Structure 1
């Protein structure tokens, strides 16, 4: 049976920077074919036009679909499922699907929809990314422009939930697999650290909280989380069951510098000798990730006495490993790529992974 196509749900309030983050992702997709579903409604077709102008070969105009009948979580059956079916019926299927929700959408009903029989065998939720406006949240506002959020709420005739912003924010955090604190450059270092700690405390165990400026995050950090969120709904329970809504969020400042912000992340390769015990090594990797706050770790490991190479992929503290293919004529060596926010203690990580 063919592998399911991964889908990433990007949620967050109007103005948090969801569109800017997605534009950066498309511009730096490294050849990955990404299809985009944008939840537009009312008379605001802004994001669709902006994203269609990205002109990137990895995301052609045919790969962008707009849902303009209202909040995505209120129109799952009429709007979202048929759109997904249309996308999945194509001959040239995408490598990855990215769904930008309206700012007022509850993410949980959307994730739940991936269990619908019409699409459940073909697609899976790679992860839920919640983008927050760091400055607004630090100021206790949740959204940069609360009046604009309320105006969008009034535009959506299909909206069937009237959730206060503070409660909707809690639902978006409860469902997240990764929280992106955007506009981190507008906060001082101390305030940014405090906000990251606060959000980590509010989220489920293992949820990664990263900061960004202009949504500039490496694609390897955003995509490929492999969570399968639709199988894990009980842990990401809705804090509040009444519904609420808002439209997409184009960040106030427009992103013309796609490379800006990558210096906030770093990656390096660790090479080491063969390992003797695959299971023990996976445990060791998980501990190193926890100790050093590593976002991603992936690579191949040579295990003594095993002709096959061990593939290791870790997202946060979750480590998956499996034997994938024989080394054959290739050198029996262990090479692991480590990805994290700038400032990783490379020497300590290399020593810990080589121990």
Structure 2
């Protein structure tokens, strides 16, 4: 799909859009029905996305009595996901609804296995291939994620992939349940913690604090049966793509000068592990196998001794771990490559991670957890680094059972 980014000009007459995301069973449809029955005179078009051939959620919305059959509309998008396989269909449907000129608002309920980022991107670029420019017709107002308070920890600690539950988008869909949950939590403006009546108050407080550590910038709302004031998710003006892209807790921790204080009552805190020494592949592999249970989320860049040219990205959520190439270290590039990527005269030596021997090579891992023993975790990670003697050896001779794979 050819695309170019654009900013709308002139008076803003665009139709605002709210997108509801959340894993299956979180209560998105119940929330949507409640909002439709408690809005203040807005003429609304609703798009409901369902992976199955029969759009059950659309039937529930249709029977919920919240939409006028005369001047409002319900659009069903079935048998696919609007974040990938039905993305062009979403573009077309939203354009058509906007150009009808008879709606004040568009509400979109994404499928439970949909990722919010691609949906948000749909409203941020010009689709040159199909000649559709939603940036001139609509304004993405609010990204909402609904979390099932009663089932969150069960799903978060699961080792299952979507295909294990028969929920995959396509045969090649290798996403884990926990990775999807994290995607949905870390990219939103409003997080609705639903089904709160099914969780003890103390446990609910603890869960909310953990979610706030994963997503510290969103507005948090607790609900029972999706009963939320419509004004909390309609015409909020909260969404900003750039801000949302850096709203995740691990990014906030990396960028802040002072680390966030520990939430004393629940022992929830985070820290950045930073070292200018590479990991020994075998010892780091053993460390990953003995993962500290107190760590619920970790993400960052890793320097591995088996490859001194590439940086590696590490991401962990619950029991899911992903280790993949993140591109070349700048100091491994030729002068010509540096000029191509960074421009002439760019001084990389001013980077805080730069030194004369290793350049920009560094490990920076954010760890977020409950009751973490920071000193013990740092000691165990330090033990996996190359020793001073090993730094002077040929790193390629070290035992290396490590391969960049999903775990």
Contact 2:33 2:66 in 1 (8 A): no
Mark the CA change 1:78 to 1:168 in structure 2 (over 3 Å): closer, same or farther. same
Q: Distance in 1 between matches of 2:186 and 2:141?
A: 16
Query: Which structure 1 segments of 5+ residues have no match?
Result: 243-355
Determine if the alignment matches structure 1 residue 208 to structure 2 residue 219: yes
Which shows bigger deviation, 4-13 or 232-241? 232-241
Contact 1:14 1:143 in 2 (8 A): no
Trace 1:183-198 onto structure 2 (pairs within 5 A).
Answer: 183-198=195-210
Match of 2:151 among 121, 136, 139: 136
Match of 1:169 among 181, 187, 209: 181
Q: Distance in 1 between matches of 2:30 and 2:164?
A: 22
- Count residues with an aligned counterpart: 236
Q: Which has the larger radius of gyration?
A: 2
Contact 2:42 2:105 in 1 (8 A): yes
1:183-215 deviations in Å (ceiling 9; x for gaps): 10011111111111111111043x111110000
Trace 1:193-342 onto structure 2 (pairs within 5 A).
Answer: 193-205=205-217, 207-232=218-243, 234-236=245-247
Q: Distance in 2 between matches of 1:66 and 1:230?
A: 26
How far has the Cα of 1:166 moved from its partner? 0.8
Determine if the alignment matches structure 1 residue 98 to structure 2 residue 107: yes
Trace 1:43-54 onto structure 2 (pairs within 5 A).
Answer: 43-54=53-64
Stretches of 4+ aligned residues off by more than 4 angstroms: 57-62, 146-152, 236-242
Q: Distance in 2 between matches of 1:19 and 1:241?
A: 34
SS in 1 for 2:89: helix
Q: TM-score, normalised by structure 1?
A: 0.60
Flag the structure with more relative contact order, 1 or 2, with Cα contacts below 8 A and sequence separation at least 6.
1
How far has the Cα of 1:40 moved from its partner? 1.6
How far has the Cα of 1:236 moved from its partner? 4.9
**Which residue of 2 is the match for residue 73 of structure 1?**
83
RMSD: 3.0
Contact 1:72 1:110 in 2 (8 A): yes
Query: Which structure 2 segments of 5+ residues have no match?
Result: 1-10, 127-132, 252-298, 300-312, 316-407
SS in 1 for 2:125: coil
How far has the Cα of 1:150 moved from its partner? 4.7
How far has the Cα of 1:148 moved from its partner? 9.2
Q: TM-score, normalised by structure 2?
A: 0.53
Determine if the alignment matches structure 1 residue 63 to structure 2 residue 68: no
Mark the CA change 1:49 to 1:148 in structure 2 (over 3 Å): closer, same or farther. farther
1:2-42 deviations in Å (ceiling 9; x for gaps): 42211111000111100000000001112112211111232
Which shows bigger deviation, 115-124 or 185-194? 115-124
Q: Distance in 2 between matches of 1:59 and 1:199?
A: 39
Mark the CA change 1:228 to 1:208 in structure 2 (over 3 Å): closer, same or farther. closer
How far has the Cα of 1:141 moved from its partner? 2.0
Q: Distance in 1 between matches of 2:109 and 2:238?
A: 18
**Which residue of 1 is the match for residue 135 of structure 2?**
120
